Structure 1
Amino acid sequence: MRNVEGRALEVEFAQVASLSWPNRMDIGDKLAAWGHGVWRFLSEAPSDGNTGGGVWPAIFGTLLMVILMSLVVTPFGVLAALYLNEVARQGPLTRLVRIAVRNLAGVPSIVYGVFGLGVFVYGLGGHLDSWFFAERLPSPTFGTGGLLWASLTLALLTLPVVIVATEEGLARVPVALREGSLALGATRFETLRRVVVPMALPSMLTGVILAVARAAGEVAPLMLVGVAKLAPEIPVDGEFPYLHLDSKFMHLGYHLFDLGFASRDAEAAMPLVFATATLLVVVIVVLNLTAIILRHHLRARHRALEHS
């Protein structure tokens, strides 16, 4: 074959990834080729060196980590907010706790990464290995970074956001509704479950939306607690326990960083950098829109119940 300068080159057939004649294509052929390229980018694993291939493991790892993080942070954040606003005695200690929670929201994310590495990976993970996987030592199972520790670290990072948003929603519930429920014979628990929590549910989901948006774009803590440069196998398969929480995983944010700054051929990887950045934004928008639609549905349902 000859390059654009007319020099003859020899390329082994096994090294040819694709072959096309763009100048001979009409608009339909170009759209088909573009669609095929997009599908390959979204469905294949990255190649060694991250100069080609797709980003499917990174997409799956990002979505799975965000889902696991949301499952952890939502109940803990909501329960903490309910305790601070509805159960705890309001005094200097409660105000101090609120100040501490708001200050935690401003701590740099890398500090949470160091905390997760020390407490989750070396602490809890090391003890789990010594208790349940002693036969595999010194090769660690949970004593190294993985999907579980990354999800817990980001849950800890986003916990103040959920607590603050939930507390604001609880504070907007009129006191008269609480007193009316108690006057009709309901217990405090029934008042919380049937009156207060349903009215504050949109604010709770707002906190989850903010937490998802921040967690999906974080990279610094993940570099310490489980993200991998190249992990073509997704952490879900047909073998028990099916979801392998100890596995390394890929993340779109870290993959973007690796493509832009650690690739062996940065110029060849530049189109992948822009495509991955666009995809990361799209994934975050889709996650946020899903939560927003759910919040809108719950809010409309609650209004319908009020009118009925």
Structure 2
Amino acid sequence: MMKEWFRSGTPWIWLTGGALSISLIAVIGLLAMIAVKGLSYFWPAQVMQFEVEGFVPKQTVIGEVYDSEIVPREQLSAAGYDLSAFNNAEFKRLLIKTGNREYVDLDFRWILTTDIKSQSTPSGLAVIERSKNGYFYGYISAVIKNGETITENNQAVLNSLIERAVALNKQAHKLQSDDIGKINYQLEQLRLTQKGYELDNEFTPARAAEIAKQQKQLYKQSQLLETELFALREQAKRDQVVVTDMRNEQVTLEISEVLAIWFPNDMSVFDKLGHYFMQLGKFVSDDPREANTEGGVFPAIFGTVFMVMLMAVIVTPFGVVAAIYLHEYATKNAFTKMIRIAVINLAGVPSIVYGVFGLGFFVYVLGGSIDQLFYPESSPTPVFGTPGVMWSALTLAILTLPVVIVSTEEGLSRIPSSIRDGSLALGATKIETLWRIVIPMASPAIMTGLILAVARAAGEVAPLMLVGVVKMAPSLPFDGNFPYIHLERKFMHLGFHIYDVGFQSPNVEAARPLVYATAFLLVSVIIALNITAIRIRNRLREKFITLEH
């Protein structure tokens, strides 16, 4: 009976189904863990006030409870704690985020529960998010508006002043990055033009006078804009807020450095929900701050998507052309056999090797040659002879090329030869048959290869560290200066951002939830790119399914 059951194949069906179920549960569980640990960071947690005395001097500690752990007695004894008054084998301690880093040694501190004499969540405790020096916790004592101290209804006044300061800071940032940045770009182009004339021995007095005239006009415009910029910054610095911190001292903060303020202990569930989505939106749309441990990740999102799309544009035609040659034109001989072996071997090469190749060939050889031929006036500063987004896209295009070739060739092999013969019999040339019949029918397979290429390229980090990605990019590869798309610039990437925040951050505890949040965002970006490609593939498959039958 048992032998017949095994011979029927039923156990293997259950085995494969069980393995698939376990794999799905593991993947879903991993994504759920990342999502919970990452997205819960943006929820406004209650701010606790602890009265502490024991192994530490008597003091008040205000902050958010980040984590807790059980510590063995031996570990605390080895650290110098006198535990003779306790019989516990284990002790619990809490990790508290205290902020206020200008006046407190550490943003985070561990507190043993045995030291906590009392704890509460008092009303009126404020969390102040700042552009510098992180969060600040305390009680709002007064608001200073244009030199006048306001103590009544100060929360409403404070919110309006913060909105005013944020708007002025955004206006100043836009003026500096757009208008002043454009003038600086034009001045740099004039300098390079002058140097180019000098290298070619064509720098005549007339050209010198023309360049000097243009520079003078640009300097004049720049001075006017800088005057406007300084005026905006002074307006933003007009107001202050006085906060009583956990040392029971009053601290005056510039509202120009305040991004938001909220009172989590006084917020309802709906207030917290609105604040949660606001913070989540700022994380997606803002630039990073404080060594990437605060702020948003928009430049990393833009860099990841832009680089992947550029890679897809490069790898698709090369992969399709190579597959068409191997399947439609090449004869089965030693040469094509070597090509296929090379393609298979390329798929197994470690990604860091591609990074070394990209740095040596694309950056130093190809980019250096482009600089010598077309940008001699920029020497010794490289233009294309330095890591950038274009070299990153080309490196990842070579890395994912075998996937596209194999997938496209499999799609071409599924097209019946009778369709090709019918097209040729009707008078079409081979090129016309390929362009109008074969490639459209193979397009779903091409999209499958592209999906796999995008999934791998979006998560690669090792080669990008050598050919273009950086911790902080001062500007995006896309701006308002001609030629608008700057492929030579370095860029930020979500994968490298995770590595940098998780392993290179000076503030590990503050960075930990951002690692999970960024990891979940990277997975979401990859899923979004794949879903888009899958929908295109399905539409192509439905369009050409009649030809296949």
TM interval, short-chain normalised: over 0.9
Indicate which of 370, 376, 379 corresponds to 1:134: 376
Show the counterpart of 2:357. 115
State how many pairs are aligned.
307
**Where in structure 2 are there 5+ consecutive unaligned residues?**
1-46, 52-59, 62-245
Whether 2:212 is the aligned partner of 1:212: answer no
| Structure having the larger proportion of residues in strand | 2
| Structure having the larger proportion of residues in helix | 1
Indicate which of 348, 357, 377 corresponds to 1:106: 348
Residue 80 of structure 1 deviates from its aligned partner by: 0.6
Show the counterpart of 1:259. 501
Residue 19 of structure 1 deviates from its aligned partner by: 2.3
Whether 2:329 is the aligned partner of 1:87: answer yes
Residue 304 of structure 1 deviates from its aligned partner by: 5.4
Aligned counterparts of 2:429 and 2:331: Cα–Cα separation in 1: 18
Aligned counterparts of 1:227 and 1:87: Cα–Cα separation in 2: 39
Indicate which of 252, 264, 278 corresponds to 1:36: 278
Task: Kindly indicate whether the alpha-carbon contact (under 8 Å) linking 1:231 and 1:249 is maintained by their aligned counterparts in 2.
Answer: yes
Show the counterpart of 1:13. 253
Q: Higher RCO, 1 or 2 (CA under 8 Å, sep at least 6)?
A: 1
The structure whose Rg is larger is 2
Aligned counterparts of 2:311 and 2:365: Cα–Cα separation in 1: 20
Three-state SS of the structure 1 residue aligned to 2:289 is coil
Show the counterpart of 2:476. 234
Whether 2:427 is the aligned partner of 1:177: answer no
Three-state SS of the structure 2 residue aligned to 1:18 is strand
Whether 2:302 is the aligned partner of 1:302: answer no
**Where in structure 1 are there 5+ consecutive unaligned residues?**
none
- Provide the aligned C-alpha RMSD in A: 1.8
Per-residue CA deviation, residues 218-272 of structure 1 (Å, 9 max, x unaligned), is 0000000010101142111111000011111000000000010000101111111
Per-residue CA deviation, residues 52-93 of structure 1 (Å, 9 max, x unaligned), is 010000000000000100000000100010011101122221
Show the counterpart of 1:278. 520
Indicate which of 194, 197, 202 corresponds to 2:439: 197
Aligned counterparts of 2:545 and 2:337: Cα–Cα separation in 1: 33
Task: Kindly indicate whether the alpha-carbon contact (under 8 Å) linking 1:45 and 1:232 is maintained by their aligned counterparts in 2.
Answer: no
Aligned counterparts of 2:344 and 2:531: Cα–Cα separation in 1: 26
Shift in alpha-carbon separation, 1:306–1:116, aligned structure 2, 3 A: closer
Whether 2:387 is the aligned partner of 1:166: answer no
Normalised TM-score (structure 2): 0.54
Q: Name the stretch that deviates more: 127-136 or 250-259.
A: 127-136
Show the counterpart of 1:269. 511
Alignment of 1:45-84 (within 5 A): 45-84=287-326
**What percent identity do the matched residue pairs reach?**
59
Task: Kindly indicate whether the alpha-carbon contact (under 8 Å) linking 2:308 and 2:458 is maintained by their aligned counterparts in 1.
Answer: yes
Normalised TM-score (structure 1): 0.95
Three-state SS of the structure 2 residue aligned to 1:193 is helix
Per-residue CA deviation, residues 2-29 of structure 1 (Å, 9 max, x unaligned), is 9645242465524654322112111210
Residue 303 of structure 1 deviates from its aligned partner by: 2.6
Three-state SS of the structure 1 residue aligned to 2:433 is helix
Show the counterpart of 2:268. 26
